[in-house]
Amino acid sequence: MEKSRSRHALLLCLVFLTMLTPTMESHLRHDYYRNICPNVESIVRNAVARKLQQTFVTAPATLRMFFHDCFVRGCDASVMLVSPKGNDERHSSIDLSLAGDGFDTVVKAKAAVDNDPQCRNKVSCADILAMAARDVISMSGGPYYKVELGRLDGKISTRASVRHRLPLPEFKLDALKAMFASHGLSQTDMVALSGGHTIGFSHCKTVQRRVFNFRNSNKDKTVNPNYARSLRKQCPIHVDPRVAISLDPTTPQIFDNVYFKNLQRGMGLLSSDQILYTDHRSRPTVDLFASNKTAFEEAFVAAITKLGRVGVKKGKHGEIRRDCNFIN
Ligand code: HEM
Ligand SMILES: *[C@@H]1O[C@H](CO)[C@@H](O)[C@H](O)[C@H]1NC(C)=O
């Protein structure tokens, strides 16, 4: 009797704790805006489609921006904030290479949403970015999935907060794993999300180290020799620093699993791409995604859904920004 009562108390206590603990997915919902702005998904999708018609860069730019936003202070559109003195995330060295079309996509979608009186100032920039990322993926041939919604926009963005929070292209598997694990993402999630490099570009600077013999740096032996030759041609030593080349040289504008097939042939553009195949611990996952597009798509959707839950703001920690570039 005594024993069962204390067990009962323990159970109640656990239930209570579970309710109080802010689990990552606690309040995000697919139908968050059902009564607030019922057409939000189609409004965003139309705005994204219009922007994508103007330039394909819309797709990779928006996807990368979502990733960078979530890894720095959580998915709270802090990446979009503009501070008058330039002390904001987008002025950090790594985010300076975010393509402007990603920002523009969210600004345009936000304007379209706010054009509907029922929706005005009721949909967060963080949620618009999450929806836009999903839309560019599916519009480029990738999977369509339901996006969890209900994020608030953050009120803080600093250049310093980007430091050590985003992976570098020189990272080896352990460093990549550790950084993703710090956000609750597994090695499989990390490999699947790296599949985001199936679209978009990298500037030449990042590539040259791998294919030229510079002092103190040996050429990377994991690069396919023909691919290395092509990279030296596309990115000669004195190339204009603005020149960018495709991350997926085979199908650069299609969100598919060819990125993983490229890795099997030594055609990963970044060292952090190729390492996923070189390291025996992640190679089986690369092989699986290369041979089975459905397996990749399912893993990608699971992983980007988890990514979308990272550091989500609620209550006094956030707001619905009126202008995505400034706090209210
Ligand atoms: C695994 C660790 C990762 C590293 C080290 C990494 C690094 C990079 C680098 C160096 C670039 C080229 C930037 C430039 O030169 O302009 C890039 C581009 C890109 N990354 Fe990643 N990334 C990683 C993961 C991800 C993830 C998880 C996603 C999204 C799911 C993503 C999406 C993109 C996209 C779409 C581009 C192309 C951007 C454009 O064309 O504007 N990356 N990444
Ligand atoms: C591919 O992956 C999917 C999803 O995991 C699975 O259901 C299917 O059986 C796999 N196909 C093959 C040919 O292995």
pLDDT tens-place string over residues 167-218: 999 999 999 999 999 999 999 999 999 999 999 999 999 999 899 887 666 7
89 appears as a binding residue in the annotation? yes
Measure 226 CA to ligand 1 centroid, in angstroms: 23
Pocket flag, ligand 1, residue 155 (CB < 6 Å): no
Q: Closest Cα to atom 13, ligand 2: which residue?
A: 292
Among protein residues, the one whose CA lies closest to atom 6 of ligand 2? 295
Q: What is the pLDDT of residue 22?
A: 40
pLDDT of 244 reads 95
Query: How is residue 108 written in tokens?
Result: 């345009």
Q: What angle do CA 283, 289, 294 make, to 5 degrees?
A: 160
* Contact 199 CB / ligand 1 (< 6 Å): yes
Region at 125 (left for phi over 0; alpha for psi -120 to 50; beta for the rest)? alpha
Give CA angle at 301 (133, 124), nearest 5°.
35
In 3D space, the residue among 247, 227, 224 whose CA is nearest the CA of residue 169 turns out to be: 247
- Can you tell me the distance from the alpha carbon of 195 to that of 258, in angstroms, rounded to the nearest whole number? 9
Q: Which atom of ligand 1 is nearest the CA belonging to 300?
A: 30
Tokens found for residue 186:
């597994």
Range 22-166+310-317 classified under CATH 1.10.520.10:
yes
Which is the CATH superfamily of the domain at 173-305?
A: Peroxidase, domain 2 (1.10.420.10)
More confident: 12 or 142: 142
Distance (Å, rounded) from C-alpha 83 to C-alpha 326? Answer: 8
pLDDT at 6: 55
Name the residue ranges covered by the structural domains of the chain. Answer: 22-166+310-317, 173-305
For 158, list phi and psi in degrees, rounded to 5.
-135, 155
pTM over 0.85: yes
Q: Which residues are catalytic?
A: 68
